[in-house]
Amino acid sequence: MTAADKACLKCAHPGDALELLCAPDAYAAPPASMAPLARLRSLVPGVARSIIPGQHVSLEGEASGQVIGVLSGLVRCFRLTTDGRRHICRFAASGSLIGLGLLGVQRHSAEAVTASEIITFRAAAIDVALDRDPRVRVAILQSLAEELTEREHIQLRLGRFSADQRVADFLLELSPPQSGSLDCDIPMSRADIADHLGVTFETVSRALHRFDKLRLIRLLDAHHFRVLRRNGLTDFAAGDQPVHLQLAQA
Amino acid sequence: MTAADKACLKCAHPGDALELLCAPDAYAAPPASMAPLARLRSLVPGVARSIIPGQHVSLEGEASGQVIGVLSGLVRCFRLTTDGRRHICRFAASGSLIGLGLLGVQRHSAEAVTASEIITFRAAAIDVALDRDPRVRVAILQSLAEELTEREHIQLRLGRFSADQRVADFLLELSPPQSGSLDCDIPMSRADIADHLGVTFETVSRALHRFDKLRLIRLLDAHHFRVLRRNGLTDFAAGDQPVHLQLAQA
DNA sequence: CGCACTCTTGACTGATTTCAATTGGGGTGG
DNA sequence: CCACCCCAATTGAAATCAGTCAAGAGTGCG
């Protein structure tokens, strides 16, 4: 039996005991947002392929002439500062498009976080289709609108939230919106989270364990947690901190 | 002679002695990016009007069914957190469009920083034009691409730069790219800058005076500065800090 | 002429980073 | 199959950066 056989395919973290904990597409965007990529796929020819964790998808600045869609798994999009640190601008889950905007010029590098399937479109093909088919135009505009909304939120989080608030807010994104106490997985490493939230991985770790102590979540293991009090997390992320009072007791 | 007569019309900061210091359209985007709004204006009917500093343009969350273009002046786009703090997501200079994405639904509030002229398009009109005229499509996509690129940079700055680096980077944005030592104005208040960079206004003030001491810039007054060593600023913003060594001496 | 507001500056506090040590799990090779 | 190694994660302690609090200066406006 190989490692791959034992691995939890959903989250790509090895270990069979926890397979059942992996919520189906836990990090996936709501169904509605699958639409743009699905529609694009039906209207523009593209080449699908599978990639393994860590495998690179695109390189910052390259004029690859490609747009990439994530069909399954999770991809991290990042840039490096001149002094070598990394900033993960976003995690692209299934349904996300990478490289829109200046068609075909990559604004950032991208690598697989988990085993993923991606589809590659030629930017030129999309450009042509944009002229011919209004449905393509709608799909692209919708995808751009979604990314802009997502970025707006990320920006607010970076600009105005404390370290713990950022982590709480991120956990809310990881967990399905409605469910009160479902088990969720954390596909990415602490370092990935840290580089996305603009904090250190130690701070992420501490925050998670603090939430565990406060009974907001239950850390099942390093990559799985259960939401115990979603409202508590929400309040905490929002800055209402009745929870902070409990912090002293904890 | 009224206050308005004496005011520097470019930056809307009163005082006649400094009128000549106001670089023409100092904060304006490069000429190329004027294109989308200019083109849109020639293809879609819109209503222009003038607004005074502080006057509100749009309200977060409202489904106004409008898209706003900035013809001159400067507009701040912002959101408020639940605990009442403000985050300025971006400063929209002449040529910028506000409210693109989910057409007609405002992702944020907007107010004039300086006396500005804006033009209001009906989202429905743009939507119709998008179907009919490919040039509109190009203009909208280009504008979205520009905003996304801008946001990507802002996000990196918030996520990975120290307070001083953020201010240095912001100054670079305020000053025309090429000129070595031209005078620039700072149209917005310290608080505006702080709420954009995710720091306090005290920190902004301190950073500016530090750069002045280091001879990277010359602060002419609270709202005007001269770039002395652009490379120094660039290095500082990038994290190379040969300058920091001088900091001890200063 | 004085009020109000923005900006500057200093001293202190505290959150987060940095540095360092330890733990734990998984995969590899013996 | 077991021991070892490596990497990720956790945890603690010290150091630092930026925030908070507070006082004072400058400037425009009434």
User: Which stretch of DSSP H or E encloses residue A203?
Assistant: helix A201-213
Mean pLDDT (whole number) for B163-188:
89
Instruction: Report the alpha-carbon distance of residue B52 to residue B56 in Å, rounded.
Output: 9
Q: For residue B52, how many other CB atoms are within 10 A of its CB?
A: 12
State pLDDT tens for residues A160-185: 999 999 999 999 999 987 765 679 99
Radius of gyration of chain B (CA): 19
Which range is least confidently modeled, A14-18, A113-117, B134-138?
A14-18
Burial A140-171, CB ≥16 within 10 A → b, else e: bbbbbbbbbebbbebbbbbbbbebbbbbbbbb
How does residue A250 score in pLDDT terms, banded at 50, 70 and 90? very low
pLDDT at B43 over 90: yes
How does residue B241 score in pLDDT terms, banded at 50, 70 and 90? low
- Residue numbers in B near A127 (CB within 8 A): none
pLDDT at B239 over 90: no
Cβ atoms of A192 and A87 closer than 8 Å = no
Counted across chains A and B, CB pairs separated by less than 8 A come out at 109
pLDDT at B220 over 60: yes
> CB-CB: which of A130, A148, A159 is closest to B198?
A159
pLDDT at A187 over 70: yes
- Residue of A89, A155, A196, A233 to mutate, interface with B, max B Cβ within 10 Å: A155
Closest Cα in chain B to A159: B198
- Residue of A77, A80, A154, A158 to mutate, interface with B, max B Cβ within 10 Å: A158
Residues at the strand C interface (Cβ < 7 Å): A 3, 6-7, 14-15, 162-164, 198-200, 202-203, 206; B 189-191, 201-202, 204-206, 208-209, 219, 222-223
Q: According to the per-residue pLDDT averaged within each range, which of A127-131, A242-246, B24-28, B168-172 is highest?
A: B168-172
pLDDT recorded at residue B180: 56
**Phi, psi (degrees; rounded to nearest 5) at A16:** -90, -25
Mean pLDDT (whole number) for B157-174:
97
- Residue numbers in A near B160 (CB within 8 A): 81, 85, 87, 198
pLDDT at B67 over 80: yes
pLDDT at A241 over 70: no
pLDDT recorded at residue B189: 98
B80, β-bridge pairs:
B86
Residue B235 C-alpha, separation from nearest chain A C-alpha, in angstroms: 10
